Amino acid sequence: MLVLIGILIIIAGFLLRFNPLLVIMASALATGLAAGLDIAAIIAAFGKAFNDTRYVSIIWIVLPVIGLLEAYGLQQHARSLIDRMKGATLGRLLTGYLLLRQAMAAVGLTSVAGHAQTVRPLVAPMAEAAAEARNDALSDAQREEVKAFAAATDNVGLFFGEDIFLAIGSILLMKGVLDGYGYQIEPLHFSLWAIPTAVAAFLIHGFRLRRLERRMAQTPAGAETGA
Amino acid sequence: MITLEFVYILAGLTFAIFALLGLYDRTSPKRFGNAAFWGLLAVSMIVGDYLGDFGNGLLVLALVAIAGTGQICRAPGGDVPADVQAERAARHGPFLLVVALIIPAVALAGTFLFKWVPGLADPKQATLISLAIGVLIALAVAMARLRPAPLLPLQQGRRLLDAVGWAAILPQMLASLGAVFALAGVGEVVGGLIGTAIPEGSLFGATLAFGLGMALFTMVMGNAFAAFPVMLAAVGMPLLIEQYGGNPAVIAAIGMLAGFCGTLMTPMAANFNLVPAALLELKNPYGVIRAQVGTALPLLAVNILFIWLFAF
């Protein structure tokens, strides 16, 4: 039971808005000590995992290209594309991206799009432009919500598309764990059973995107307007 | 053969240049802190495999000490004025879009190429390697046509990364915390607690506990992968599969997706939820999570219902 102290530290740390890096380190040390590990072993375990997971941080190599393109006006161009397309409403744009992201993830192309590669330079500015086209008094709070939904749509599309692909890590994990209990299951069965949820995710999130579009078409009275 | 090592060196060099640019940026009030932080990350990328586990641990402690005491910040200025951007966009717009699409297009083409033609690159890492090659090609094409100041891409890239700040290593930190949790046996304890909370003899109760447990434990760990073996051992295997005879493929596949609903609702999944908020410069660091809860909760309910309907 004592090892659960790390979870309490994480929850309290995030709620009190301490620097998350400090909170994580404190949680790791407390959890390790509660489990009877010595400090050197905890630091070594943490260091080994940090080194093994470096691949999650290599996405930042796209930033020089994105920075260069943005300095030359990529975001403005993405916006002007939306302005020229008459039918491109906020809801249709993000729903289209949701479908594209789910479809690509379903064939294993998970890193092709993402927050750094596509959301910041293209999807978020396009979504903002689409919202502005219907509401010339878009407030700052609304602008934030539109951008947040652009990122959320990327996540929903990725999560509820990728498990349809046979060779994704989570499918291999499921197969491995069930093998351990003596159940031999073909990866295809896991893939097929991911489809109903993928459809449900598209319907639920798509419905919310339509409501977002309606909400963004009007600025609530009293809200400060954005630049 | 190209391996992930090539990408690590490329990333390390990028961070090293960011560190140097930061060091010589006299407008930055925290230039030494910034240089040390990104410099250490460059060391980790390039020679991490030679530092040993304890050495890497000390490197992490140094990163945490620098960022945790507020020694890094975003330097003022460096933004290209909006009217200059608009004027350039009018001239180069379609070309910029083509370059932006080079990265995903090369990532796509390379993923297939490296799987079909063995020996060129490590097929297990095909997409990440292709992504890095796509970045290099896009950069070369853009430099040849736009002819900016040679350091402009790196200066602008550094500005974007400074805006993300310490959140850039949060995903790696949380993954490492997960490793310590696993070592300490946190999963077994949580699984045991959830196992004892289930009402006796209720199939729906057990299904509900399995689905909610996957989501909650994923929220704590930031990762459904960590939750899956624990919840399967605590509830899925003994109750749903062995006692009630449920279909293991359905229980595993949809249970995992119930966990993904938890991923949408937790700051622990930093790379999906906190990093984009920083990258999009949102005022509320939890803005992305707020936008996702309304999708995650109904979808979690649907997943639990699906298990109950399809597995038995």
Residues B188-220: tens digit of each pLDDT: 787 788 778 787 778 999 999 999 999 998 998
* A166 contacts chain B (CB < 8 A): no
Residue numbers in B near A81 (CB within 8 A): 97
Q: Provide mean pLDDT across the span A134-149.
A: 92
Q: Which domain range does residue A45 map to?
A: 2-52
Residue A224 lies in a domain: no
Cα gap B186→B212, rounded to integer Å: 18
Cα gap B42→B48, rounded to integer Å: 9
Question: What pLDDT sits at residue B184?
Answer: 86
Exposed e or buried b per residue across A12-21, where buried means at least 16 C-beta atoms within 10 angstroms of its C-beta: ebbeeeeebb
Do A39 and A68 belong to one domain? no
Structure tokens at A6: 């790390």
Subunit contact B153:A65, Cβ cutoff 8 A: yes
Q: What phi and psi values does residue B74 have, to the nearest 5 degrees?
A: -95, 125
Instruction: Give the confidence band of A226 by pLDDT, cuts at 50, 70, 90.
Output: very low
Subunit contact A148:B288, Cβ cutoff 8 A: yes
Do A185 and A132 belong to one domain? yes
| Residue, of B265 and A83, whose pLDDT is higher | B265
Question: What pLDDT sits at residue A176?
Answer: 78
Question: What pLDDT sits at residue B94?
Answer: 84
Please give the model's pTM, rounded to 2 decimal places. Answer: 0.81
Residue numbers in B near A53 (CB within 8 A): 171-172, 175-176
Residue A227 lies in a domain: no
Q: How high is the ipTM of this complex?
A: 0.85
Question: What pLDDT sits at residue A224?
Answer: 54
Subunit contact A151:B264, Cβ cutoff 8 A: no
Last residue of a domain, one of A34, A52, A70: A52
Subunit contact A56:B271, Cβ cutoff 8 A: yes
Q: What number of C-beta contacts closer than 8 Å exist between A and B?
A: 414
User: Looking up tokens 């994923």, which residue turns up?
Assistant: B218
Question: What pLDDT sits at residue A74?
Answer: 83
Subunit contact B89:A43, Cβ cutoff 8 A: no
Do A79 and A176 belong to one domain? yes
Indicate the Cα dihedral angle A45, B165, B140, B128, nearest 10°.
30
Exposed e or buried b per residue across B236-250, where buried means at least 16 C-beta atoms within 10 angstroms of its C-beta: bbebbbeeeebbbbb
Q: Are B213 and B220 in contact (CB under 8 A)?
A: no
What share of chain A in percent tops pLDDT 70?
95
Q: Which residues contact A107 (CB under 8 A, 6 or more apart)?
A: A165
Residue A222 lies in a domain: no
Tell whether the model's pLDDT for residue A109 goes beyond 70: yes
Residue A127 lies in a domain: yes
Per-residue model confidence as pLDDT tens digits over A182-210: 888 887 888 889 999 999 999 999 999 99
Residue numbers in A near B257 (CB within 8 A): 159-160, 163, 194, 197
Spans of chain B, pLDDT less than 70: none
Number of domains in chain A: 2
Tell whether the model's pLDDT for residue A53 goes beyond 50: yes
Subunit contact A117:B64, Cβ cutoff 8 A: no
Structure tokens at A216: 């963004």
Question: What pLDDT sits at residue A223?
Answer: 58
Do A205 and A151 belong to one domain? yes
Interface test with B, best of A4, A14, A15, A57 (most B CBs within 10 A): A57
Question: What pLDDT sits at residue A227?
Answer: 45
| Residue, of A92 and A104, whose pLDDT is higher | A92
Residue A225 lies in a domain: no
Question: What pLDDT sits at residue A222?
Answer: 62
Residue A40 lies in a domain: yes
Subunit contact A25:B148, Cβ cutoff 8 A: no
| Residue, of A133 and A227, whose pLDDT is higher | A133
Residue A151 lies in a domain: yes
Residue A223 lies in a domain: no
